[in-house]
Structure 1
Amino acid sequence: MNLSASSRIATPAPAIDLAERKIAYFSMEIALSKSLPTYSGGLGMLAGDTLRSAADTGVSMVVVSLVHRHGYFQQHLDGVGQQTESDVIWSPETTLPSVGQEIVVTMQNREVTVRAWRFDVVGVTGHIIPVFLLDTDVEGNDPWDRKLTDHLYGGDTYYRLCQETILGLGGVKLLHALGCKPEVSHMNEGHAALLTIGLLEERLNGAPLRDATEADAEAIRQQCVFTTHTPVPAGHDKFGLDQMVAVLGHDRASAIERFGCLHDGLMNMTYLALRFSRYVNGVAMQHGKVSQRMFPGYRVHAITNGVHAGTWLSQPFQALLDKEVPEWRHDNQYFRSVYGIAPAVIDATHALGKQRLIATVKHRTGVELDPKVLTLGFARRVATYKRASLLFRSPERLVEIAEKIGGLQILFAGKAHPADSAGKGLIRDVFTAAAKINNSKLRILYLENYDWDLGEQLTGGVDVWLNTPLRPYEASGTSGMKAALNGVPSLSVLDGWWIEGCAENITGWAIPDCDDEAAEASLLYYKIEHSVAPLYANKAAWAEVRRHCIAINGTFFNTHRQLGQYVSNAYFPQSASVAASDQVIVDDEVREGVLV
């Protein structure tokens, strides 16, 4: 979906009857196009893939996000792995059509004018999902307010609360000004939770929030769906009560407190979303259980994430499937039909993706990898719980394995948040380890500026996808799903999606659970040496594994299936009993492992 500025400007946005759209999807970040820096990582990619499937399958949806004029950031790595950042500045004025509607949000005891730009996600049948990107860089606004929609996840907590106010309150106001009053509002993570207050204000039609009753709150709850994406505490935004009052004003702050949306004396966006949602879900079966223990006062369902096959399948695989199983584009169940394609053909198709990746690595680093050598990929947002350095727990063992199996190539990539010093330290650790143990049989490279394009090449070109999170903090993970679509098995800790996707020696391998990290690393080495490498040496058997990955995991771990579950289970449940039973108190057995 990499659209040029000229093509966007030349064609006015087609008219859409927004009054007919039934679902509003709110997300702080969305990966809309390779050319737009409106996302940072997995959450934004998941949102973008969901919208692409919504467009492909004709879902009645509109979308709200922020414009992020300065993007997330461009990553720069020096010779020792020290990360620095620079803005990725773009101009919506020369890229996207204007919505032609301004609204006003009262916050910080003043009025902020908000406009919007429109990006259309177009499906395989021409169905359009309009995405409205809110923008405060409007003449007449306070100079500080004009920068509120510049940086994704930038600034301090005050800046973040202001951004989330624009997203939630501003998004509701914009949709209503455009004649769109959806039946369902979906909060993709807690950043958008203030939309519930916006809906409550709209319902009261100018009356103060102090007049809102429990019946009013329940009416809003029946409209809202909330997806929580992480058990990591940093992923649940919290703000001081003084900031809440300063940004939102006394009336809103009092309502938030009165309706029980504070937690541990703080304004907590997750609890605000929980309180006003009739359906809450985690993003994998295990994550649903973990979230239920975290939030025992609420019923938490689970809908496992997926990826958009049309985005993440390599071009060679797309060409192969268009020829052999053309129905895959509108119905991902047809991935099962790859069992009608010879394993050798699957293997040869993946080899084309590996060749492309090797060419990219040479262009970027000057290092030419060997296409015949087993190549592992590890690429994701750099955070301590993802444990990028677990593979180097016993570096001498890694060297021994590489020499024994005839060579090993390992490709790393990933950005650390600019304020995450620990994450930046992990990148340096990988550089340090690589410098010490790289030799003719072991090649370890860290590729700079992990983004959509590099992620596509890595998941489509490596031989094995490696994932080593600290359980139970991997809510889902989607990079391994992208790899599976391209016939790449995973070697992973049993957490997140991999609990559902791992069929040992068929779709990949599990790293067994251990209380001791050294023992876990030892088992990781054992699996590489005794399970992965011997199978890779058997070309016919490895080709079968590739086919299993696509047929088994590709068929399920896709956003066509995921979105279908949202529509039937969350947006429009067939039985009212689902909504009626959501807010419950779970029993003491479930309470015992609460992660707070």
Structure 2
Amino acid sequence: MSFSSRVPTEVLNSSTSIVAYFSMEIAVRPDMPTYSGGLGVLAGDTLRSASDLGLPLAAVTLAHRQGYFKQHLDADGNQTEEAQPWSPEALCAAEDATTVVMIEGRPVTIRAWRHDMKGVTGKIVPIYFLDTDVDQNDPADRILTDRLYGGDSNYRLRQEAVLGIGGAYILRALGYEPVVYHMNEGHAALLTVALLEQQLGERGLLSATEQDYRKVHERCVFTTHTPVPAGHDRFSMEQAYRILGDERSSLLERVGGVHEGLLNMTYVALRFSRFVNGVAMQHGKVSREMFPDYAIDAITNGVHAGTWTSQPFQGLFDKHLPRWRQDNVTLRYAIDIPEVEIEQAHSQAKQTLVDAVAQRTGVRLDTETFTMGFARRAATYKRADLLFTDPQRLIEMAHKFGGMQIIYSGKAHPADDPGKAKIKHVIELAKELNSDALRIVYLENYEWELGALLTGGVDVWLNTPKRPYEASGTSGMKAALNGVPSLSILDGWWIEGWIEGVTGWAIDDHDDETGESNSLYEHLEQVVLPLYYEQPQQWRRIMRSSIALNGSFFNTQRMIEQYVLNAYFPEKRVIGAPVESLEAVMSR
């Protein structure tokens, strides 16, 4: 049953949306470079599932006219960046409504471009891209919506004012009256200030009372994504007063948005949200330790099944599970798909990946050789080089079992020199270790389409973050949809998705990298490679279990339903009722 049938008719027929979703980045489609990585991809997958399910929702983000960046890697592994300009005029519809926000003492006019995301049932989620490239704006303000995560902290705070304050006001100008505002990370926290301003009207922020705060509090939901303290946006109070103005900054101080002398966007969002969640069970625990004064729940991330399932597997699921796109839980019944058909679908996806590697690099990999994938944002804590702690042991394994192929990819933020050094190190090692038995390639410019090729075509997905810095991770979820098991550190989502030898394998926890790398080698040498090369029937069984057990759960359809029941409309939930009662819940 589609989600739209579970929503009251008067809501579906309304010209307004009931949920407003704010995110600094959203991966809408491959030719719109409006995202940098996991946060944006998650946001896009969330909206795709919302449209599939018919949830009345509108999304707000920034235009990012210059995109994130296109990555170039030279022969020595040095990263350089190139802008990725795109044209909202070509891919979106212009809205007539505008709004004006005072930023750094200047009026900044903000307009919006609308892009409609259509779901499998034809339902639409509108996405509004805010744009300050308007003639009447000061030149310094016209570029505020140019670059995703570009510029200094002054640029970032001004952007966050555009997103949060400007976004809340543009929705009102467009005629929306949301009952729920969902902040996807703290970048959008300033929308709470705008909601308070709208509520107070002519009274002004200085007149706000605890009752006024509570009214905003009842409308806001906040998802935090990072377990790293430095990952939470913080600004000096000098910046706050200069950029946001005296009245807004004074309010933020008064309500507890200042922590350790800095304006902290996470604390602003926490203060004004009635529901707060981390993005995996473990991340919820870590977040509660970081912010012990606040109640923090957990809703584990997912991925959009229809987007990240490779073409061969889409065809296979269409044949055996024809309603899988409308109802992702149906993937549970993949356990009944003949194993040989799963193997055939994966072989086709692997061939597509091998062909793409050859086209991009000139390196021709072998479709029969065990192939492992590692593709993540090139942050140091993700430890792309953990696999090479003992290179000689890796070489010996490759010779012993008849070959091993490893495909890497990932961008480092332009200002992240340690991350760039990790990329360079892996590429240097690849050149040093490459042989007939061990082939290592690093593919430049990791993005949407390359990510789909990798998660669909490798044999095992490798993930080696330093605990507990993996909030969730979603690449392994994409792999699972394609019958690709994970070999991973027990952090983020993998704590929930791991069943040893059934959905993949867990690298043992150790206090030192030597112990963890040794566990990684032992798993490869004693379990993974012998299974792949010597027990193909058992390998096929693991592939099938990965789809049925992980693909059916770690998707944004399930995630959205949890948001509806636990975060958006908890007052309508039937206590003790199973998730399947969502139709009854939403029609009450």
Same fold, judged at TM 0.5 (above):
yes
Find the partner of 1:500 among 490, 496, 500: 496
* Aligned match for 1:29, one of 1, 25, 28: 25
Matching residue of 2:335: 339
Q: d(CA) in 2 for partners of 1:56 and 1:577?
A: 24
State the alpha-carbon separation in 2 of the partners of residues 247 and 181 from structure 1: 28
Check conservation: 2:105, 2:245, Cα contact below 8 A. Answer: yes
Q: Where does residue 261 of structure 1 map in the other structure?
A: 257
Q: Deviation per CA, 1:49-99, whole angstroms, max 9, x where unpaired? A: 000000000101000000000000000000011000010011112221101
Match of 1:562 in 2: 559
Describe the shift of the 1:162–1:317 C-alpha distance in structure 2 as closer, same or farther (beyond 3 A).
same
Q: Could you tell me how far 1:362 is from its partner in structure 2? A: 0.3
Inter-partner Cα distance in structure 2 for 1:127 and 1:194: 30
CA displacement, residues 152-208 of structure 1 (integer Å, 9 cap, x when unaligned): 000000000000000000000001111111000000000000000010000011322
* Equivalent of residue 316 in structure 1, options 292, 312, 318: 312
**Cα distance change, pair 91–216 in 1 and its aligned pair in 2 (3 A):** same
Deviates more, 1:315-324 or 1:377-386: 315-324
150, 158, 163: which one aligns with 2:159 = 163
Aligned residues: 563
Following the alignment from structure 1 to structure 2, what is the Cα–Cα distance between the partners of residues 102 and 423?
Answer: 39
State how far apart, in whole Å, the 2-side matches of 1:18 and 1:226 are: 25
Q: Distance in 1 between the 2:439 and 2:269 partners?
A: 46
Q: Which residue of 2 aligns with 1:279?
A: 275
Distance 1:117 1:138 in 2: 13
Query: Which secondary structure state, in structure 2, belongs to the residue aligned with residue 20 of structure 1?
Result: coil
Structure 1 letter corresponding to 2:424? R
Alpha-carbon distance in structure 1 between the residues aligned to 2:120 and 2:89: 27
Question: Which whole-Å deviations, capped at 9, do the CAs of 1:87-121 have from their partners, x for residues lacking one?
Answer: 00111122211012111111111100000101111
Post-superposition offset of 1:131: 0.3
- 1:75 is paired with a residue whose SS is strand
Match of 1:42 in 2: 38
- Counterpart in 1 of 2:9? none
How big is the alpha-carbon RMSD for the aligned residues of Structure 1 and Structure 2? 1.2
The one-character-per-residue Cα deviations of 1:439-485 (angstroms, maximum 9, x if unpaired) are 11000110000000000000000000000000000000000000000
Partner residue, 1:581? none
User: Is 1:355–2:354 an aligned residue pair?
Assistant: no
Determine if the alignment matches structure 1 residue 75 to structure 2 residue 77: no
Query: Is contact 1:384–1:423 with CA below 8 Å preserved after alignment?
Result: yes
CA contact (8 A) 1:29 1:39 kept: yes
Looking at structure 2, the residues matched to 94 and 494 of structure 1 have their Cα atoms a distance apart, in angstroms, of: 44
Q: Matched residues in 2 for 1:250 and 1:73: separation?
A: 35
Q: Which amino acid aligns with 2:476?
A: G
Report the more deviating stretch, 102-111 or 31-40: 102-111
User: What is the 5 A alignment of 1:177-576?
Assistant: 177-537=173-533, 538-574=535-571
Partner of 1:56: 52
Distance 1:91 1:335 in 2: 38
**Aligned match of 2:126:** 130
Match of 2:85 in 1: 89
| Aligned-residue offset at 1:20 | 3.3
Q: Which amino acid aligns with 1:285?
A: M
Contact 1:306 1:559 in 2 (8 A): yes
Q: Normalised by the size of structure 1, how large is the TM-score?
A: 0.93
User: Take 2:153 and 2:262, find their aligned partners in 1: how far apart are those partners?
Assistant: 12
Contact kept, 8 Å, 2:112 with 2:128, in 1: the verdict is yes
Give, in angstroms, the shift of residue 17 of structure 1. Answer: 6.8
Distance in 2 of aligned mates of 1:411 and 1:172: 43
Cα offset, 1:552, TM superposition: 0.3
Q: Which runs of 4+ in 1 moved over 2 A?
A: 16-20, 574-578
| Secondary structure, counterpart of 1:29 in structure 2 | coil
User: Which residue in 2 is equivalent to 1:584?
Assistant: none
In the alignment, is residue 173 of structure 1 matched against residue 182 of structure 2?
no
Q: CA deviation at 1:417?
A: 0.1
Distance 2:468 2:365 in 1: 35
The CA deviation at 1:234 is: 3.0
Give the AA of the match of 2:236.
G
User: Residue 233 of structure 1 aligns to which amino acid in structure 2?
Assistant: P
Q: Which residue of 2 aligns with 1:108?
A: 104
Deviation of 1:323 (Å): 1.4
* Whole-angstrom CA distance in 2 between matches of 1:348 and 1:493: 29
What is the match of residue 581 of structure 2? none
The verdict on how the C-alpha distance between 1:576 and 1:356 changes in structure 2, with shifts beyond 3 A counting, is closer
Q: Does the CA contact (< 8 Å) of 1:18 and 1:179 recur in 2?
A: no
* Local SS of the residue matching 1:117: strand
Q: Please state how far the C-alpha of 1:425 moved relative to its aligned partner.
A: 0.2
TM superposition shift of 1:235: 1.9
Amino acid at match of 2:571: Q
| Deviations, residues 133-154 of structure 1 (Å, cap 9, x unaligned) | 0000000100010000000000
Deviations 1:380-423 (A, max 9, x none): 10101100011111111111111111100000000000000000
Instruction: Provide Cα deviations, 1:280-311, integer angstroms capped at 9, x if missing partner.
Output: 00000000000000000000000000000000
Alignment-derived partner of residue 3 in structure 1: none
Task: In structure 2, give the amino acid aligned to 1:544.
Answer: R
CA shift at 1:436, angstroms? Answer: 1.2
Does the Cα contact within 8 Å between 1:19 and 1:181 map onto a contact in 2? no
- The alignment partner of 1:412 has SS state of strand
Query: Mind listing any 5+ residue stretches in structure 2 that lack a counterpart?
Result: 1-11, 576-588
Give the whole-Å Cα distance in 2 for the aligned partners of 1:382 and 1:142: 36
Please give the alpha-carbon distance, in whole angstroms, between the structure 2 residues aligned to 1:484 and 1:75. Answer: 27
Hey, what's the Cα distance between the residues in 2 that align with 1:164 and 1:398?
Answer: 46
Unaligned runs of 5+ in 1: 1-15, 579-596
1:541-576, Cα deviation, whole Å (9 max, x unpaired) = 111111000000011000000000000000000379
CA distance in 2, matches of 1:340, 1:425: 46
- The answer to whether the Cα contact below 8 Å between 1:65 and 1:132 also exists between their aligned partners in 2 is yes
Q: Is contact 2:565-2:573 (8 Å) kept? A: no
Q: Residues 409 and 442 of structure 2 are in contact (CA less than 8 Å); yes or no, is this contact kept in structure 1?
A: yes
How far, CA to CA, are the matches of 2:573 and 2:81 in structure 1? 49
What letter is aligned with 2:389? Answer: R
SS in 1 for 2:95: coil
How many angstroms apart in 1 are the aligned matches of 2:150 and 2:33? 13
CA distance in 2 between counterparts of 1:506 and 1:423 reads: 33
| Residue-by-residue CA offset, 1:18-73 (whole Å, 9 max, x unaligned) | 64311000000000000000000000000000000000001010000000000000
Q: Which amino acid aligns with 1:367?
A: V
- State the distance in 1 between where 2:49 and 2:131 align: 26
AA aligned to 2:82 is S
Q: Helix, strand or coil for the counterpart of 1:296?
A: coil
Deviations 1:236-274 (A, max 9, x none): 000000000011100000000001110110000000000
Distance (Å, rounded) in 1 between the aligned partners of 2:371 and 2:316: 23
AA aligned to 1:167 is L
Give the C-alpha shift of residue 222 in structure 1: 0.5
Secondary structure (helix, strand or coil) at the match of 1:100 reads strand
